[in-house]
Structure 1
Amino acid sequence: MARSDFDPASVEPDGRSPALARLFDPGAEGPWRGSVDGLAVGGAVTVLTYGTDAPGAGPRLHVHPYDETFIVIQGRARFFVGATTIDAAAGDIVLGPAGVPHRFENLGPGRLQTIDIHHSPRWIQTDLD
């Protein structure tokens, strides 16, 4: 399906150059595989990647002053976002709204792999537990 959502002539390039940054080393150990601040590439979002093979494992409860979008790449996760619990599987996305405490855990069996998009040019977080 072809898309034509806007007139390309209506957007003026802002002069930024294309940029490359390495998000993670595929051979690295540990659940936090890497992060790239938007500032490093001149972008508006920060990208993190998380992966674990251990059921029940996941990041601690935390909060951000901006939205966070989680993309489940592999496996199944249970997200706790404020008072809401959301089960998600590979191919799903989950929104953690700004100011709402959240965490997630691997439901298993097998690996959980996520890409976490912080809607900020830098990673800002307060851990709550």
Structure 2
Amino acid sequence: MVRRDFDPATVTPDGRPPAKARLFDGTMVGPYRGSVNGEALGAAVTVLTYGNDEPGFGPVLHVHPYDEVFVITQGRARFFVGDEVVDAEAGDTVLGPAGVPHRFVNLGPGRLQTIDIHHSPRWIQTNLE
């Protein structure tokens, strides 16, 4: 597929070098396996990885002052975003809009694994339960 979404001559590099940070350690226990603040990379997004093997289990209801995008890489999840319920599976992405309380649970069977992209250079969250 050929893409020509913009003219590269219209973008001036800002001088940042490439950066690298470790997102997770596969030997860690618990659902939160790691995160990388965008600040560590000089980027505008923060990335988390979350996973669990227990159907019905997931993060508590919480809210962020920015959008969060969830990428389901394994399993099935049910998201509660404001008054909406969204079922998603591996290969799907789900948006949690800024200021809208949200949570999700593993629908099973088996492992749920997500990559969560916070549209902020650092993770900012208020738990509501």
Structure 2 length-normalised TM:
0.99
Whether 1:41 and 2:35 are equivalent positions in the alignment is: no
The equivalent of 2:85 in structure 1 is 85
Does residue 21 (structure 1) correspond to residue 15 (structure 2)? The answer is no
Q: Any idea what the Cα deviations from partners look like across 1:27-49, whole Å, max 9, x if unmatched?
A: 11110010000000000000000
Q: How far apart are the structure 2 equivalents of 1:36 and 1:58?
A: 20
Give the letter for the 2:44 counterpart: A
Task: Find the counterpart in structure 1 of residue 104 from structure 2.
Answer: 104
Offset at residue 74 of structure 1 (A): 0.2
Give the corresponding residue for 1:94. 94
Q: Which amino acid aligns with 2:12?
A: E
Corresponding letter in the other structure for 1:43: A
The residue that corresponds to 1:67 in the other structure is 67
**Unpaired runs of 5+ in structure 1?**
none
Task: For residue 40 of structure 1, give the secondary structure of its aligned residue in structure 2.
Answer: helix
Q: TM-score, normalised by structure 1?
A: 0.99
**3-state SS of paired residue (2:2):** coil
RMSD: 0.4
Number of aligned residue pairs: give it.
Answer: 129
Q: Secondary structure at the match of 1:56?
A: coil
Q: Deviations over 1:69-119 (max 9, x none)?
A: 000000000000000000000000000000000000000000000000000
Structure 1 outlier segments of 4+, above 2 Å: none
Letter in 1 for 2:34: G
Q: Counterpart of 2:80 in 1: which secondary structure?
A: strand
